[in-house]
Amino acid sequence: MDVSLALLLISASVVLIATSMNEDSEATTPDPVAADQTAETLAATSMSVEYSIEPVTDHSEWDGENVATDFADESFRRVSQGSAAGLLAEAAVANVEVDGTRLTKEGQNFEPAVEAKVLNTFLGANQSVYVEAVWRPYPESAIEGIASAGDRPPRDTSVNTAVLRVTSDVPSVGSGAVERGYRLDGFEGAAGPIAAAVVRGLYPPTEMQLLLERQGFHRALGKYRYQRMATTIEASDAATDDFSFENAQGVYFGEATVISRNGADARAANAQLTDHLTQIIAADMDEKYDDDVTADELGSDVATGEVEIIVKTW
């Protein structure tokens, strides 16, 4: 759907929200279309953001022993380009947590860099702005990523709100796959397609295979990403045992695991992550949903492929 049309469709509800909040408030009435206009600006404004992923070295899973220090600073440097809304969505996914444990620190410097660029876009505006990007595979999911720009509005202030949805880097899951899975195997069946999409989005197999097969910085980064997910899975309340990557298939690999350089197999590593993440998601869904939830309801709730951008102005 065209972004402008989508914003027009929600503008009526935004006005109602603002009117309702103003009935019991003496605060100055905010511009009723400011949130819509801000959301439209976020979708239409292109920007470039530079940042460093060096915070990954703070995690014990980072193995920089074979990383050449002469090239370290440049290797950590990243540049992301896109719309303001798209970069906020990217930052939200980069901040993903599982059961409250942050997955990686690759996005630690990314969110503030995006925030600075976004807020600079609205310098001189007559309205205060707060933007929050939220990625959750399904409502109230134990897996979530959030990024924001600006300060939250004061509680006693009248606020206008607009909502924009943009595509995430995680593949969409068809509602039919979730519904079929639930009918066949309950929450575990529903969780399988969701876990597979999350793992594929966070660990693109072709990219991860190349990282694991290379040396120095690139290999260290690939190994770090996988080891962080292993640590995060172990920290989950739904974890039943310790997590370790399996040995690579084939006698010539010896004791090499699927994330070692000579046994590198990103697809096998992803399959193992998917199995464990399925258990976490299934346990979470069992806790969050009522016993009488229907397959159709579960299917309609899944939104792995989109990030919700909430814009507040006052």
Please indicate, yes or no, whether residues 285 and 221 belong to a single structural domain of this protein. yes
Domain total in the chain: 2
Please indicate, yes or no, whether residues 129 and 180 belong to a single structural domain of this protein. no
pLDDT tens digits for range 253-262: 456 789 998 8
Amino acid at 113: A
pLDDT tens digits for range 109-143: 999 999 999 999 887 777 899 999 999 999 999 99
Quickly count: other Cβ atoms within 10 Å of residue 79's Cβ: 8
Alpha helices in the chain (DSSP H): 3-22, 34-44, 69-76, 84-94, 110-121, 175-202, 205-213, 216-235, 266-288, 295-301
Tokens of 281: 């998601």
Global pTM reads: 0.86
Please indicate, yes or no, whether residues 122 and 201 belong to a single structural domain of this protein. no
**Beta-bridge mates of residue 313:** 129, 160
Please indicate, yes or no, whether residues 120 and 182 belong to a single structural domain of this protein. no
Please indicate, yes or no, whether residues 213 and 167 belong to a single structural domain of this protein. no
Range of the domain at 259: 175-301
Please indicate, yes or no, whether residues 158 and 64 belong to a single structural domain of this protein. yes
Please indicate, yes or no, whether residues 116 and 183 belong to a single structural domain of this protein. no
Please indicate, yes or no, whether residues 63 and 205 belong to a single structural domain of this protein. no
Contact between residue 51 and residue 110 where contact means Cβ atoms under 8 Å apart:
yes
Give percent of the chain with pLDDT exceeding 70: 85
**On the CB side of 181, how many CA atoms lie within 13 Å of its CA?**
22
Task: Round to whole Å and give the CA distance between 43 and 164.
Answer: 8
Please indicate, yes or no, whether residues 208 and 245 belong to a single structural domain of this protein. yes
Please indicate, yes or no, whether residues 160 and 308 belong to a single structural domain of this protein. yes
Please indicate, yes or no, whether residues 152 and 9 belong to a single structural domain of this protein. yes
Residue 264, pLDDT > 50, answer yes
Please indicate, yes or no, whether residues 68 and 96 belong to a single structural domain of this protein. yes
